[in-house]
Structure formats: C-alpha cells, structure tokens
Amino acid sequence: MEKIPYGKHTKEFRVEAVILVTEGGLSVLEASKRLSLAPSTLSTWVKKNKAGELESVGKNHRQLSDQELELHKLKRELAEVKMERDILKKATAYFAKGSL
C-alpha cells in the first residue's frame, strides 16, 4: 500500500494515531497499516508522546494540499482495484484449468 506523500500531518492526526496505539489496543504495525503510515513514523510519535514532545514533531515539514491528499487517495484506491483484478484473473484461470 502506498504511503501518504512526504508532508506534515496535523497535530490532531498525530494525537489520534498515538491514541490508537496507547489506548486503542492496536500494535504500532497494525495502526500504521490502517493509517497508511510507516511503522517507524508512528513508533516515533508514540515515543515522543511518552516523553511529552509530540508537539515538536513535524515542525519542519510542509502542509499537504487537498489536491495532494486526493491524488494519494485515488492512487491507493487504484492499487487496490488492480490487486483485486489480478486476484480474480488468477482465480478464473485456476477454476478454468480445474474444469478441463
């Protein structure tokens, strides 16, 4: 799955992501997959939160535009559809071979 382009995540997003791990009972890996984040990024946020430094994360990054976020969403959706299509092609070939 493709990651969100390099850019600044909002403070609210970082806090909610950390809450998923700390209070939501999800592992860092599972939460990062759900949020399309690198596990190392989320792990860093959790460590910074424990140290009380979560507010300082991402100050040097730019804010993503709505167009960049929409493009990312569409690319991710396209990748999922291609993967589903490939699975269906393989399943069709398997079942066609089995019926002969």
CATH of domain 1-63: 1.10.10
Q: Give the residue with greater pLDDT, 9 vs 5.
A: 9
Cα separation, 54 vs 87, in Å, equals 41
Nearest partner of 48 among 57, 39, 36, judged by Cα: 57
Per-residue pLDDT tens digits for 44-70: 889 988 888 777 666 666 677 889 888
Domain range annotation of the chain:
1-63, 65-100
Cα separation, 34 vs 42, in Å, equals 11
Cα separation, 42 vs 35, in Å, equals 9
Given a contact cutoff of 8 angstroms between Cβ atoms, the answer to whether 75 and 2 are in contact is: yes
Cα separation, 64 vs 8, in Å, equals 6
